[in-house]
């Protein structure tokens, strides 16, 4: 699609399939967490945050008395199913933190995404992230990315603790948290269900369909872009409309 102009005061972006490759999460991050999960829990089960997440996982599975072995099995199954369960995302984020700190992980960010985010930030548009991955994991990915540390570009981060990404109310809560009227917020994602929810909340939306991530022949009902280069942004003052 040819370049399109949006007027907005804030942009909220998804990660997988939007700023970075789905394959990075699927083929690098998830396997890394799977490989190190059992050893990680054995080493750090006494840490308050780890113990709390294990307890929350047991509650989420309706098995409050589950053994550690059983919980590890549940977590592995949830990873295989790509379940958006908060305690799982918390534990994955902490495991990945160790990998980033050791230098064995580097977050994937598309070159055009990094350039677009820098361009929009310089233009005065507030940038935020909303992903099913934990806020800690989001900061790690962008702080140790293939484009360098780009966390200074973002004004804030949101994850499933504010609501599921298909929940219309979650987008209302985000708009309230950032203090920008819904019509002045643009949401970028590759998932139609998320775009549906954002649009119902009154946001502007744009669909990313990157050749490496979008299913062959897929068509979206939304304005669709293969690159951030095709999205032109003009800053508007919150509340003054588009």
Q: Say which DSSP state 185 is in.
A: E
Q: Would you call 154 helix, strand, or coil by DSSP?
A: coil
pLDDT at 215 (0 to 100): 61
pLDDT in tens, the chain (242 residues): 557 899 999 999 999 999 999 999 889 999 999 999 999 999 999 999 999 999 999 999 999 999 999 999 999 999 999 888 989 989 998 999 999 999 999 999 999 999 999 999 999 999 999 998 889 889 999 999 999 999 999 999 999 899 999 999 999 999 999 999 999 999 999 999 999 999 999 999 999 999 877 665 555 789 999 999 999 998 777 665 44
For residue 224, the surrounding DSSP H or E stretch is: strand 224-225
170 forms beta bridges with none
- In terms of Cα–Cα distance, which of 160, 211, 174, 215 is closest to 192? 215
- In terms of Cα–Cα distance, which of 219, 233, 195 is closest to 18? 195
Q: How far apart are CA 170 and CA 57, in angstroms?
A: 22
- In terms of Cα–Cα distance, which of 126, 40, 125, 127 is closest to 88? 40
129 forms beta bridges with 13, 157
142 with 118: CB under 8 angstroms? no
Residues 6+ apart with CB under 8 A from 23: 108, 212, 213
Which domains occur in the chain, in start order? Answer: 4-21+108-235 (3.40.50.1000), 25-101 (1.10.720)
5 with 122: CB under 8 angstroms? no
């Amino acid at each position: 699609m040819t370049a399109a102009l949006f007027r907005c005061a804030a942009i909220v972006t998804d990660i997988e399939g939007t700023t970075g490759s789905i394959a990075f999460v699927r083929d690098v991050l998830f396997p890394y967490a799977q490989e190190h999960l059992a050893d990680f829990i054995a080493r750090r089960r006494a840490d308050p945050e780890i113990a709390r997440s294990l307890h929350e996982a047991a509650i989420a599975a309706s098995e409050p008395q589950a053994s550690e072995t059983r919980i590890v099995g549940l977590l592995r199954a949830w990873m295989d199913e790509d379940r958006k369960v908060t305690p799982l995302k918390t534990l994955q984020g902490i495991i990945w933190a160790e990998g980033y700190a050791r230098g064995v992980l580097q977050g994937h960010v598309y070159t055009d995404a990094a350039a677009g985010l820098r361009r929009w930030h310089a233009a005065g548009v507030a940038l935020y992230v909303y992903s099913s991955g934990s806020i800690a994991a989001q900061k790690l990915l962008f702080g140790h990315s293939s484009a360098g540390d780009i966390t200074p570009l973002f004004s804030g981060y949101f994850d499933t603790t504010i609501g599921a990404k298909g929940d219309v109310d979650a987008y209302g809560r985000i708009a309230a948290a950032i203090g920008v009227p819904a019509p002045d917020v643009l949401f970028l994602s590759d998932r139609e269900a998320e775009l549906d929810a954002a649009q119902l909340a009154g946001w502007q939306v744009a669909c990313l369909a990157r050749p490496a991530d979008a299913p062959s022949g897929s068509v979206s009902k939304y304005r669709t872009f293969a690159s951030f280069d095709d999205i032109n942004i003009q800053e508007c003052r919150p509340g003054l409309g588009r």
